Amino acid sequence: MSYEEFQRRLSENWLDPKEASVYVMLAKSGSLKASEVARLCDIRRMDTYRILKRLETKGIVETGMGRPMKFQAVSPEKAFDMMLKSESEKISTMRSEKNYLLSLWPTQPTLEEDRKNSGKFRIIQGRAEYFSALRRVIISTCKEVSIVTTQNGLSRLFHIGFDKELEEKAVTGISIRILCRLGEGETEAVDRFASIVNVRYLNNPLNTQIMLADGLHAIVSTALDDSMSLSSEKDTNIWTNSLDQISIFQALFEELWHNSLDLKTARALTKMGAISPALRRLVGHEAANTFTQAALKSAKGSVTIMTRSITLSPLFKDEYLSLLKEARLRGVRIRVMTTMKGEDIGFVNDISKYFDLRASDIEPTMNLSLIDQTIFIGTKPLISGESPLQQETIYISESAYASLIDQFLDIAWSRADSVAPMLHSMEWIEHTNVILQRAAEILNTKGVSAETPGMVRGSSSLEYTFSLVARKRNDQKGVVVERCGDSQKIMSIYAKTVDCDVRRTILLTPPDFQEEASKLASFFSMKVLPLARSDKDHEKIAEAVLEGFS
């Protein structure tokens, strides 16, 4: 059986497709860094870290200590055994909870109440997935459809045959309204849609797409590549069935519809030059500086920023950073979202002391800033080789469009994760890397051979990596040290140590390690060694290892 067939079958019943791809890549390649896994599997790095974490929790991927951190897969036979055991435990738990959950059902909110209060959100990445989502929604639509798009957006829908699907719905009496921003180029698609549904002109300066159906579904773009490519992966959209969010977008659509023009009038006015976009397109770094600095100086309530990288973004350098800090001192709330890709941890940690900072999965095509919910600034990052004179910035001060961006950023913020746990974990790992090395140096002077990281071969002939492995001459059993941040990892560590038949297992834990997890570790006769990031941590580790040999 080929790797491809193995991966396909693995993704059918055992793992999701991305998890299967990562496991197979590690199983056939050996020890890899997360960045290497991301590149070889063609998965975004932030997603890769989360997938590796899930696989580690399942017990089928292990983390090797060292710098940089590397990951390796357990054998397929052991992986299947671990997954079967996990599923068996899950089914057993589900059976035991079944009657209790059924007894709770009559007291739960109705589906309508639950959806109104919370609703679901899903990220749609890439154009193919977007088209698929549109079609799924249209199939179930029975009352009305409202769409906001660009002229190119209509052309793309025309080229995939979406006009025919809307026409089939329109003849059944469903109300279909389309707001379209006119541009240059072919108008065949606009004319075709106008012949079957109600299309009006939207003087919208943004590359934006909104699709609303029956008051039950909304698909909204947060980043749009407005090219004519039908397979672009640069698009990012959010689907939701949250009634509260849908009502906001529906109200916005009605306002835009009320202020729109019929196509005939709009085209006549455009030829006369009587319609101009409510925006400024600025070319060149200096031009962008003038408007951005003026907007930051005038900020009174809030500033929301979405960027791919804080470390690389010009908004967090020199005068811009000073203006943001001054705004914060004036009482302005600063919210920042980043993908955490290519970030300098120390710099991000410093930024987090001043501003509200979260990690987002959304990769914007430009650096986005919204000031006081009324001024929007979007700056495209310079491509390698481009001059600052070529940098393009969009500056918008029209409230209706800024309000739309505000809704996008609010949804993205609500879905983003706090960076504090991530930064805390990465700093703790860096600290333990240093003290483990110093502990190994002490042990080596005490007649103990210590390696960090170290390898131990188990009775199953599998080799396992531990943060530190200490051995004495002519002593088959060693003492192992492993980092452990939560209770989920304890079982995985215990399984490794049982196979290796070690003399003692020492768990290095952060100060906030859960009490229940400590009890579980003690149950398995593991010594828990909390580290408070003191100058004596390496001595504590060396002392605990030496005690393990006594």
Domains of the chain and any CATH numbers: 3-81 (1.10.10.10), 113-272 (3.30.870.10), 280-418 (3.30.870.10), 422-548 (3.40.1350.10)
Q: What integer pLDDT is reported at residue 174 of this predicted model?
A: 92
CA 160 to chain centre: 29
pLDDT tens, N- to C-terminus, the chain (550 residues):
577 778 888 877 788 888 888 888 888 888 888 888 888 888 887 778 888 888 887 888 887 655 567 888 888 888 888 888 777 777 776 776 666 566 555 544 444 444 444 567 888 888 888 998 999 899 888 899 999 988 888 888 988 889 999 999 999 999 999 998 766 555 788 888 999 999 988 765 556 789 999 999 999 987 777 788 888 888 888 898 888 788 888 888 887 887 777 777 777 666 655 454 455 556 666 767 777 888 888 888 999 998 877 766 767 777 788 899 999 999 999 999 888 766 677 777 788 888 888 888 777 777 888 888 878 887 776 555 555 555 667 666 655 567 777 888 888 888 888 877 766 777 777 788 888 999 999 998 988 888 888 888 888 888 888 889 998 877 777 888 888 877 778 888 888 888 888 888 998 888 777 788 888 888 888 888 888 777 788 888 998 899 888 7
Do residues 352 and 418 make contact, with C-beta atoms less than 8 angstroms apart? no
Q: What 3-state DSSP class applies to 413? A: helix
Nearest CA to 66 out of 422, 531, 440 is that of 440
Do residues 261 and 269 make contact, with C-beta atoms less than 8 angstroms apart? yes
The angle subtended at Cα 191 by Cα 185 and Cα 192, nearest 5°, is 115
Q: What 3-state DSSP class applies to 124? A: strand
Q: What integer pLDDT is reported at residue 404 of this predicted model?
A: 73
Task: Count CA atoms closer than 13 A to 378's CA, side-chain side.
Answer: 20
Decide: residue 38, CB within 10 A, 0-12 exposed, 13-18 middle, 19+ buried.
buried
Do residues 199 and 157 make contact, with C-beta atoms less than 8 angstroms apart? no
DSSP 262-324: EHHHHHHHHHHT----SSEEEESHHHHHHHHHHHHHH--SEEEEEES-TTT-GGGSHHHHHHH
Decide: residue 105, CB within 10 A, 0-12 exposed, 13-18 middle, 19+ buried.
exposed
Q: What 3-state DSSP class applies to 194? A: helix
Nearest CA to 168 out of 189, 192, 131, 139 is that of 139
* Alpha-carbon span 362 to 157, nearest angstrom: 24
The angle subtended at Cα 296 by Cα 292 and Cα 299, nearest 5°, is 140
Type and span of the H or E element at 64: strand 61-64
**Could you tell me the pTM of the whole model?**
0.41
- Strand order of the sheet with strand 468-471? 449-451, 468-471, 479-483, 504-509, 527-530
Do residues 124 and 219 make contact, with C-beta atoms less than 8 angstroms apart? yes
HEC letters along 434-485 = HHHHHHHHHHHHCCCEEECCEEEECCCCCEEEECEEEECCCCCCCEEEEECC
Give 512's DSSP letter: T
* Alpha-carbon span 479 to 456, nearest angstrom: 10
Amino acid at 436: L
Q: How far is CA 461 from CA 31, 263, 389, 477, in A?
A: 17, 74, 61, 15
Between helix 188-196 and helix 162-170 the angle, nearest 10°, is: 20
What are the DSSP E strand ranges found in 135-206?
144-150, 175-181, 198-201
